[in-house]
Each structure stands twice: as structure tokens, then as C-alpha cells.
Amino acid sequence: MFGVVRDRLYVAGGIGTSNSLALVGSVEAYDMDRDAWEQVTTSSRAELMTLPGYQTVLSGCLVAKNIGWGQRLGIAFNPLTNTLRELPPAMVQGWQGPTTSVQGHMFIVDFGDDYKLKTWDAHTQAWAWVGQVRLPAVSHKPWAAQLVCFLDYICLVLPDRSLVMAPLPPLLRSLERQRRRREREGRARGRGSGRWRHEEERCGRSDGEEDEEDEEGGEDEVVLVKVIPGPGAGEKGSELVLTNAVLGCQVLAT
């Protein structure tokens, strides 16, 4: 496993090189000043991270789906505290494609479910569909694609060097609206305890905040998607269509 945590590049676990298949039980960090790797810790826990298939950095942890012979299929390892926890089974089962994380949200393109763009919802413990990726007919080896965040875009980079770019701000705003909607529903359920609880909640927020919440259910945003065909992709290229009404997004592919 590898990733950048607090501006430091970490490598954890894995297997030996050359003729050695021994498990590596160390965690190392790259020191830019000395241009050298330094061992951070040695732990048998790192041995569980043998052959990560898909991986990302989420909330300060190296998160990976293990395709090796480790006992756990999905793990989150914190290199700063040397602690490891197992990922939820539903998260591991639905994690079937390239991954990137932005502002605490984990996005994947699910190659096992018609190339849908999904995000992990920790509240419902399920993958939420936020879009659809349509690959061009000339695409080959789509499983070798990478999902990355570049500036304010989430980008799917295909092996033929085609790019599918969707702006992040509308997606993040939609996820924030969804979170606030759940909070309002939770408060509404709690108000059944009586009038005094209702008055207490009203005193806890200003009229402006209440008006802002009421305006969240306005018109859907239009998300413009940029498609940059690769050298062998022809004129059509790929399309990324965000169609999840729950997130309030609509997309015009260009």
C-alpha cells in the first residue's frame, strides 16, 4: 500500500522483490530532505496488506481492497498511529473499480456495475450511484483506467489517454445537501417528543439558517462534463452522465 498522508509519502506492507515472495512487515516514509526512505515502524499488521488491488487515501488512512492472501479483504491503515481496521463488508464487496478521494468522499467507477460512478455513503453503509460512464467502442482494457482528482475536476483516465472530466463543486454541494437533508429528517423525528423540544431547537439556530435549509430544495444544477478523446478514440470519445435525482444533478455531455 502507498499514499500521501500529511505531505509525506508512505509505503506499507507488500511482498518481497526478485525471487523472494516473503511478506514485508514494515512501514516506510520518504524523506525529501535526505532523498531517502526511512523505516517508520515494523508491525505484523502490515503483513495483511499483501497485494492491494484498488487503493486510496481517506481521512488520513491508507485504504485498500486486498487481492492477496491476507486474512482481510479490505483494510484502512493509519501510518501515523500504526493502527489498522477492517473495512465494512458492503464497502469491500461493491468496490470494483478505480478510486479517488476528495474532501472525505470516496468515489469509484464500478466496472462490475455498468461503469457507474459511485460514492461511499457512511450513513447508509452502501455505495450511492451518482453517475454513469459510457466508454467509446474503441476503448481497450478499461480495467486499467485510473480515477484521479485534478484541480476542481474528477477525471477518468483511460488507457488510450482519453479523459472524462466532471467538475467537483456541484457533486460536493449535492452530497452536502444530502447530508443536511438527513439531519433535518432526524430533527423532525425527534420533534415528536413535544412542543418544548421543538421550541428549544428553534432557539438553537437563526432565521437565516432556517431559510437557507428551505432553499436547498431548489432547481437542479446543470453539470457540464468535458470529454477529451485520446489519439485512438476517434471523434466521439467517452461520456460521463450524472443522472442521480437524489443528488439533484443533471448533466449535459459536451
- Residue 91 has what pLDDT? 92
Average pLDDT over residues 218-229: 51
For 50-101, the pLDDT digits (tens) are 566 788 999 899 898 876 555 567 888 888 888 888 899 999 988 988 899 9
| Cell reading at 174 | 449535492
**Residue/partner pairs of 14-21 with CB below 8 Å, 24 or more apart:** 14/49, 14/50, 14/51, 15/50, 15/51, 15/68
In one letter, which amino acid is 237?
Answer: G
pLDDT tens-digit readout, 6-20: 888 998 876 666 555
Q: Which residue has the higher pLDDT, 230 or 103?
A: 103
Name the residue type at position 115: Y
Cell numbers representing residue 196 in the block: 418544548
Other CB atoms within 10 A of residue 210 CB:
11
pTM of the full predicted structure? 0.68
pLDDT digits (tens, 9 = 90+) for 225-240: 555 666 554 444 444 5
Element holding 114 (H helix, E strand): none
One-letter amino acid of 30: Y
Residue with the bigger pLDDT between 165 and 63: it is 63
The residue extents of the domains of the chain are 1-87
What distance in Å separates the CA atoms of residue 196 and residue 209, rounded to the nearest whole number? 20
